[in-house]
Amino acid sequence: MPTEYSNYVGGEWTDARSGETFETRDPANPDEVVATYPQSDAADTETAIEAAVAASAEWGSTPGPERGRILSRTSALLAERKDELTDLLVREEGKTRSEAGGEVQRAIDIFDYYGAKASDLGGTVKSSSARNTNLYTENEPLGVAGLITPWNYPIAIPAWKIAPALAAGNAAVIKPASLAPGVVHEMATALEEAGLPDGVLNVVTGPGSEVGDTIASHPEVDAVSFTGSTAVGNTVYDTATDDGKRVQLEMGGKNPTVVSDSADVEEAADIVASGAFGVTGQACTACSRAIVYEDVYDEFVDAVVERAEAIEPGPGLDDPDMGPHVSESELESTVDYVGIGEDEGATLETGGAALDREGYFVEPAVFSDVEPDYRIAQEEIFGPVLSVIPVGGYEEALDVANGVEYGLSASIVTDDHTEANRFVDEAEAGVVKINEKTTGLELHVPFGGVKASSSETYREQGDAGLDFYTISKTVYDSY
């Protein structure tokens, strides 16, 4: 039987006022309904925001170590339920079990990290130019944070928004993506059991046009953190900044890996294939462009094609090499882009076809002979499609790497130390890696992009994750 979830508002589990619901289905078996959720509207969202407002002052005045203990207990509860959370994530989003288990562990680690960081929150002490004066700063919570999160990392991204928001003393309202909201509800359950006061976290499911727009526009929401597509993110930004909200956006990517002629080609193919085809290419940091020096181009194409053809897609619970797309529309979009690449004149070396089986499965695709201005080399595909672009050397590689509207993650595979250092300095990306895949993040350092990948306002994760949810007050204490 499908699990029936409710909204979590003011410490209570409630249905949408309309009584309407929607379903999630297993992408590997679309006939199977996984769970049902409230189809909430603006009025439901307003109630959740009111609950957050009512709880914000008391939570904001709660000592940081006490807040941290609740987050740490939440981490422990999530760890106890890791297997069931992993299975739920797989059944709604489609990741392989190994990928989903890694993501759940990331959420566990995030709550543990911010549980400890909550005790360190404070300001700085400065020496005053006046006698008999203490001069210092205090970091205060903003009030109410509105969080809008995507389906592709349905527990990790909510965790890295919720945990710092609560650690800093804010109340929050979160709208999880409708394709895979279950793990957010389970996270709210863990926070409730850990002792989080009523109203500090509120979970509302439903369409972005109702729930998301209300969060972005409501006058009592003080900050909005959004992760998703660039088109939607720009709309959220315009709406939220109309009344001066603090806004943080993390959006799309068209991430390159440069392969130098000094690189070990087999190692480079491993790095690129992992970044391109992991999580079915459904990551904002996925590698979608391999920019390869001509001297090793043919050898690299052969090597990465071999890796793509070795991948066997299957249901995530079976822990295959690659899971399905999350939905039929995502699968259709990937297949459409494969057709666009062929029409543009690129050579489809392998893959790109939907599998003739139940579920939203596709073969990983590799294109060669791709020109930098082709749509498949410019637009975010969000599927396991790799464009391999030949270049004459470093200068051309850099131009191609930077020649897109996005700037999230970029990597270079090289044994040339000068090339590596130049790429760090010259790549237009918020995350730059040397001899590593474009995907994969440490939780204690900042994450974010540039150009159309980000609002370029505040970073997420680490200490930077706390900066977004606090504001500094300067105190002059004369005695």
Residues taking part in catalysis: 250
What is the β-pairing status of strands 29-38 and 409-413? Answer: unpaired
Say how many C-beta atoms besides its own lie within 10 A of residue 102's C-beta: 15
Please calculate the CA angle 145-149-152 and round it to the nearest 5 degrees: 160
Q: Beta strand 347-350 with 287-293: parallel, antiparallel or unpaired?
A: unpaired
Classify residue 212 by its DSSP letter.
I
Q: Report how far residue 89's alpha carbon sits from residue 105's, in angstroms, rounded to the nearest whole number.
A: 12
**Beta-carbon neighbour count of residue 342 at 10 Å?**
14
Q: Which residues, in sequence order, are bridge partners of residue 386?
A: 366
Quote the CA–CA distance of 190 and 194 in Å, as a whole number: 6
Q: How far apart are the first and last CA of the chain?
A: 68
Q: Which amino acid is at 248?
A: Q
Contacts by 73-76 with C-beta closer than 8 Å and gap 24+?
Answer: 73/115, 73/193, 73/194, 73/195, 74/111, 74/115, 74/187, 74/190, 74/191, 74/194, 74/196, 75/108, 75/109, 75/110, 75/111, 75/112, 75/115
180: helix, strand or coil: coil
